């Protein structure tokens, strides 16, 4: 008997995408979301008249010639007001030497600037630029954007190999190892710091090539009203298609009868039943709590034993009563003296200046945000003593502001709003394991491993989201929601229909 109703756990990017595709394919979808708004990690909140953007730093593949573009269009996600093209990924500022590099998509200029920074590493810079050039072009961006592993056809891997033929050597050997394993060959400490802070030191070198290739191809963009302007159109599309969504609805258990998922029970005891269930929430909670660990096979158990997760972050946002029109909106500062956060030194911080759209602040004002990597255990423990937790947040905000003051004299006196979000905040509003902001660490091994979306022994159940797409990310999570519905259609004998509809 074909499925007709589907319950979706979570209204993040993956859950909303699954809901939209389910409705488009003739299912009646009901999304149950723990928080009071959609978006999950693609988060935003209002404070003191300012809009704080707490997620998505840049969108990949936003232009019509990108193979990712149709994915966004299908779910109505590309904001009506458009996107802001990024000609630079950001500015790298090395405080101890006072040297600056703009990470531009003009690769000749970038190579020149990096060689000026690190003349003794000219050969390495040439090698990096060759890698970036090899990974340019739409064929490369579509790798991994096909069907879920359950529907993979033998020809798919041949197609991938064909797409990668120009660049094959950059996906093996030293380029398929973490950046941190590559940088010891770099002699100049500034270039080393540059490479390690560009994304994360744990990602494969080819990931950095891919990022810079996307930049050079003009396929990175900022969202002029942040996550809010990206997510609300998706939620609207889901509702317009007839989908139902409930907020403050935390799923506690997935109901299983005769080896089939038949519904869910919420934390308040309410039960909902359906023909299928898609979990687009944290996989650990899904597998070990909602399903009581009954369907954890050796593959999943091994992942939880050996794979690492992306660190959680601390985010300090300030509402400042002045404009910064000429400042690069994205910056990486390698600090003169490290900050002490969670009992460890923090050498690099990301600084975002929200000067690319009027939505973030009242006229004449700006949100400035500092983000840094931190530790889950420290913050989760500290949160048990609320007054110490609050005092530590206040201390760090003051310390961060003093660093901003050194570069922007007078800024301290213009701050009207201060907001500090910790890993505990991330967990509280999204329930992601250890507050991870992208799920599994995109290590070379994890990125090359397809994660199945179904569980052995459990029918009518599918998974979506960043925990089945190592490294997370906007297009991949949207894709995973689509793929969950592809599987659902296959199991209920329906032909999956994509497109904008
Ligand atoms: C600061 C930051 C910057 C980022 N920058 C980028 C970027 O520039 N580019 C990029 O591509 N990606 C970026 N990412 C990553 C990307 O945003 C995430 O990988 C993606 O949003 C994850 O979406 P998801 O739907 O898989 O999961 P989530 O967003 O975690 O959504 C899961 C949803 O499920 C809900 N939920 C959990 N448990 C339950 C339950 N028991 N019952 C009901 N609901 C539940 C949660 O509340 C949440 O809404 C960034 C993330 C962060 C935090």
Confidence (pLDDT) at 156? 74
Q: Which residues contact 486 (CB under 8 A, 6 or more apart)?
A: 21, 147, 148, 151, 496
**Rounded Cα–Cα distance for residues 56 and 356 (Å):** 14
**Rounded Cα–Cα distance for residues 4 and 113 (Å):** 58
Confidence (pLDDT) at 346? 96
User: Phi/psi of residue 233, each to 5°?
Assistant: -60, -30
Q: What is the largest CA-CA distance in the chain?
A: 69
Q: pLDDT band at 82, cuts 50/70/90? A: confident
Query: What average pLDDT does the segment 208-233 reach?
Result: 96
pTM of the predicted model, to two decimals? Answer: 0.96
In DSSP terms, which residues pair with 462 in a beta bridge?
278
Both tokens of 321, joined, read 């009563």
In DSSP terms, which residues pair with 246 in a beta bridge?
32
Q: Whose CA is nearest to atom 22 of ligand 1?
A: 466
Which residue intervals of the chain bear CATH 3.50.50.60?
A: 5-45+54-66+226-308+433-491
Ligand 1 center–CA 106 separation, angstroms: 32
Looking from the CA of 155 toward its CB, the CA atoms found within 13 Å total: 0
Span 340-354, pLDDT tens digits:
999 999 999 999 999
Both tokens of 240, joined, read 């317009």
Which atom of ligand 1 is least distant from the CA of 227?
17
Which residue among 31, 42, 210 has the greatest number of ligand 1 atoms within 8 angstroms of its CB, and so is best to mutate?
42
SS3 annotation, 15-54: HHHHHHHHHHCCCEEEEECCCCCCECCCCEEEECCEEEEC
Residue 1 has pLDDT above 60, yes or no: no
Residue with tokens 């509402």: 319
Q: For the domain made up of 5-45+54-66+226-308+433-491, give the CATH fold.
A: FAD/NAD(P)-binding domain (3.50.50)
Angle at Cα 497 formed by Cα 465 and Cα 79, nearest 5°?
60
Query: What average pLDDT does the segment 249-266 reach?
Result: 98
Both tokens of 358, joined, read 């009027």
Q: What percent of the chain shows pLDDT beyond 90?
A: 88
Q: How far is CA 465 from the centre of its chain?
A: 10
Span 363-401, pLDDT tens digits:
999 999 999 999 999 999 999 999 999 999 999 999 999
* Length reported for the chain: 501
Q: Whose CA is nearest to atom 34 of ligand 1?
A: 10
**Rounded Cα–Cα distance for residues 187 and 176 (Å):** 20
Confidence (pLDDT) at 145? 78
Residue 3 has pLDDT above 60, yes or no: no
Question: For ligand 1, which residues put their CB under 6 angstroms from it?
Answer: 9-15, 32-35, 40-42, 54-58, 250-251, 280-282, 285, 313, 430-432, 437-438, 465-466, 472-474, 477
Span 8-52, pLDDT tens digits:
999 999 999 999 999 999 999 999 999 999 999 999 999 999 999
Span 121-172, pLDDT tens digits:
999 999 999 999 999 987 776 677 788 999 988 777 777 777 777 778 888 8
Confidence (pLDDT) at 137? 86
Dihedral of CA 30/33/37/40: which sign?
negative
């Amino acid at each position: 008997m074909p499925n007709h109703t589907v319950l979706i756990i979570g209204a993040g990017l993956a859950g909303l995408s699954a809901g939209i595709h389910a409705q488009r394919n003739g299912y009646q979808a009901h999304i149950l979301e723990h928080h009071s708004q959609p978006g999950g990690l693609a988060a935003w909140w209002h404070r003191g008249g300012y809009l704080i953007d707490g997620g998505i730093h840049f969108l990949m593949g936003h232009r019509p010639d990108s193979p990712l573009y149709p994915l966004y269009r299908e779910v109505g996600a590309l904001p009506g007001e458009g996107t802001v093209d990024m000609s630079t990924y950001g500015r790298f500022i090395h405080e101890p030497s006072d040297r600056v590099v703009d990470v531009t998509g003009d690769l000749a200029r970038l190579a020149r600037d990096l060689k000026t920074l690190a003349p003794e590493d000219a050969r390495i810079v040439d090698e990096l630029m060759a890698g970036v050039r090899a990974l340019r072009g739409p064929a490369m961006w579509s790798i991994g954007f096909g069907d879920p592993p359950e529907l993979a056809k033998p020809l798919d891997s041949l197609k991938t190999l064909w797409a990668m033929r120009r660049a094959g050597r950059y996906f093996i050997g030293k380029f398929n190892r973490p950046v941190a394993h590559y940088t010891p060959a770099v002699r100049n400490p500034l270039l080393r710091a540059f490479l390690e802070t560009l994304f994360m030191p744990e990602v494969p070198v080819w990931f950095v090539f891919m990022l810079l290739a996307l930049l050079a191809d003009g396929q990175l963009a900022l969202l002029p009203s942040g996550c809010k302007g990206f997510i609300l159109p998706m939620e609207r599309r889901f509702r317009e298609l007839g989908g139902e969504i409930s907020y403050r609805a935390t799923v506690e258990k997935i109901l299983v009868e005769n080896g089939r998922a038949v519904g869910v029970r919420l934390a308040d005891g309410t039960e909902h039943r359906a023909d299928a269930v898609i979990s687009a929430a944290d996989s650990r909670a899904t597998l070990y709590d909602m399903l009581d660990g009954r369907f954890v096979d050796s593959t999943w158990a091994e992942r939880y034993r050996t794979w690492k997760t992306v660190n959680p972050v601390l985010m300090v946002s300030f509402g400042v009563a002045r404009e910064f029109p000429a400042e690069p909106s994205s910056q990486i500062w390698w600090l003169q003296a490290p900050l002490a956060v969670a009992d460890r030194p923090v050498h690099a911080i990301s600084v975002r200046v929200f000067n690319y759209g009027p939505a973030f602040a009242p006229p004449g004002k700006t949100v400035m945000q500092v983000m840094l990597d931190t530790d889950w255990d420290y913050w989760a423990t500290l949160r048990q003593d609320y007054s110490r937790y609050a005092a530590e947040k206040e201390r760090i905000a003051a310390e961060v502001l003093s660093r901003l003051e050194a570069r922007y004299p007078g800024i301290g006196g213009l701050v009207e709003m201060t907001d500090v979000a910790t890993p505990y905040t991330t967990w509280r509003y999204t329930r992601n394991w250890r507050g991870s902001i992208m799920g599994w660490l995109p290590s070379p091994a994890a990125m090359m491993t397809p994660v199945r979306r179904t569980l052995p022994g459990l029918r009518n159940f599918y998974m979506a989201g960043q925990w089945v797409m190592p490294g997370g990310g906007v297009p991949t999570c949207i894709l995973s929601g689509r793929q969950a519905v592809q599987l659902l259609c296959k199991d209920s004998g329906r032909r999956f229909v994509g497109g904008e509809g």
